[in-house]
C-alpha cells in the first residue's frame, strides 16, 4: 500500500541554521510527492511538489528532490528564519487513487532568534 | 482567487447536540476531501468525493458522522449526536481530479464539544 514516514519532531533550530526534514515513502506505482506547511491556526498550504523521479521542487528557499532509488523526498533549507516556524507535512498521491493523498504525521519546526 | 471556504471557523456546543460543518470548494475542482486533525491522531482522512459522489468513506469514525455533497459547490459534514471525543479541527480540501494535482485546504473549523 501507500504510506509516508517523516522524521519525528519537534525540531528546534537557531535562525540561519540549515534545515533537513526527512521523508520516505512506500507506493505501489508512480506517485507525485508534496510538502505542505501549516502555520498556527491555519490550514495546510502547498509548499512544493515533484511529479517524477529526479525532479526538484522548490519554493521560498525550500527544496526537495524526488529520489526513486531511496524512496525519499527530504525537505531542505539553507538558512531558516523565525517565520519558518510551523508544522511540515510530507505527502504522496497516486493517479490510481483518485487524487487521494497519504500524509506523514507532520514535523514541528521552531526557529529561535 | 477565492480558496476553499469553511464555516463556521469555531464551534462550541454541548454533548448530544447536532453539529453541521460546511465547505465551499474552489470553483472548478471536482474532488473534495474532509479531514480531522487532533494532537493524538494527527491528520485523518474521513471521506472524499469525486464529482459529488462519495468514493471512500472508510475513515468516517462511526454512524454518528455523515457527509453530503448535493452539488459541486457545497458539502456538509454532520455529527449527530456529538460527543466530547469529536473535539478536533476539521478541514475541507479540494482539488482537480487529475494526476499530480495538489489539494487546497480551507482554514478549518475548530470544534469543541463540552
B97 chain-A contacts, CB cut-off 8 A: 98-99
Least confident of A2-11, A33-42, A77-86: A2-11
What is the per-residue pLDDT for A29? 82
pLDDT at A37 over 70: yes
Q: Is the pLDDT of residue A53 over 90?
A: yes
- Which residues from chain B sit within 8 angstroms of residue A93, using beta carbons? 100-101
Identify the segments of chain B with pLDDT beneath 50. Answer: none
Phi-psi region of A105 (alpha: psi -120 to 50; beta: other; left: phi over 0): alpha
Interface of A with B in 13-72 (CB under 8 A): 32, 34, 36, 41-46, 49, 51
Chain A CB within 8 Å of residue B17 CB: no
Q: Which three cell numbers stand for residue A1?
A: 500500500
State chain A's mean pLDDT as an integer: 93
Mean pLDDT of the A91-99 span: 79
Judged against a pLDDT cut of 80, whether residue A96 lies above it is answered with no
- Provide, as residue numbers in chain B, all residues whose Cβ is less than 8 Å from the Cβ of A98: 31, 48, 50, 55-56, 97
Least CB–CB distance from B99: residue in A36, A41, A95: A95
* Average pLDDT of span A53-78: 97
What is the pLDDT, as a whole number, of residue A111? 97
For residue A98, the chain B residue with the least C-alpha distance is B97
All cell numbers assigned to A3: 504510506
Per DSSP (E only), the strands in A7-85 are 11-14, 19-21, 23-26, 32-38, 44-50, 56-59, 62-65, 75-77
The pLDDT, as a whole number, for residue A80 is 97
Whether A73 shows a pLDDT value over 90: the answer reads yes
Helix (H, G, I), strand (E, B) or coil at B111: strand
Q: Does A7 score more than 80 pLDDT? A: yes
The pLDDT assigned to A97 comes to: 65
Cβ-nearest to A99 among B91, B95, B107: B95
pLDDT over 90 at A28, yes or no:
no
More confident residue, A9 or B112: B112
Give the model's pLDDT for residue A9: 84
DSSP letter for each residue of B68-95:
EEEETTEEEEEESS--GGG-EEEEEEEE
Lowest mean pLDDT among A10-24, A85-99, B27-41: A85-99
Q: Which pLDDT score is estimated for B1?
A: 65
pLDDT digits (tens, 9 = 90+) for A101-110: 999 999 999 9
**Cell 487529475 -> residue:** B98
**Contacts of B79 by beta carbon, 8 Å cutoff, 6+ apart:** B18, B19, B64, B65, B86
Q: Could you tell me if A113 lies within 8 Å of chain B, comparing CB atoms?
A: no
Amino acid at each position: 500500500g501507500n504510506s509516508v514516514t517523516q522524521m519525528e519532531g519537534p525540531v528546534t533550530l537557531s535562525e540561519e541554521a540549515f534545515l533537513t526534514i526527512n521523508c520516505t515513502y512506500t507506493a505501489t506505482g508512480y506517485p507525485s510527492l508534496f510538502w505542505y506547511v501549516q502555520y498556527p491556526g491555519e490550514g495546510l498550504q502547498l509548499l512544493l511538489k515533484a511529479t517524477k523521479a529526479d525532479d526538484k521542487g522548490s519554493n521560498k528557499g525550500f527544496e526537495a528532490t524526488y529520489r526513486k532509488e531511496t524512496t525519499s523526498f527530504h525537505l531542505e533549507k539553507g538558512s531558516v528564519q523565525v517565520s519558518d516556524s510551523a508544522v511540515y507535512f510530507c505527502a504522496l498521491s497516486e493517479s490510481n487513487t483518485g487524487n487521494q493523498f497519504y500524509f506523514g504525521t507532520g514535523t514541528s519546526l521552531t526557529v529561535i532568534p | 482567487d477565492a480558496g476553499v471556504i469553511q464555516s463556521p471557523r469555531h464551534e462550541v456546543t454541548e454533548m448530544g447536540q447536532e453539529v453541521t460543518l460546511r465547505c465551499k470548494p474552489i470553483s472548478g475542482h471536482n474532488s473534495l476531501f474532509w479531514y480531522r486533525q487532533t494532537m493524538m491522531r494527527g491528520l485523518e482522512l474521513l471521506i472524499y468525493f469525486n464529482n459529488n459522489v462519495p468514493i471512500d468513506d472508510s475513515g468516517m469514525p462511526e454512524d454518528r458522522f455523515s457527509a453530503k455533497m448535493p452539488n459541486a459547490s457545497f458539502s456538509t459534514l454532520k455529527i449527530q449526536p456529538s460527543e466530547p471525543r469529536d473535539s478536533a479541527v476539521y478541514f475541507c480540501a479540494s482539488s482537480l481530479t487529475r494526476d499530480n494535482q495538489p489539494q487546497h485546504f480551507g482554514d478549518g473549523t475548530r470544534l469543541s464539544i463540552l
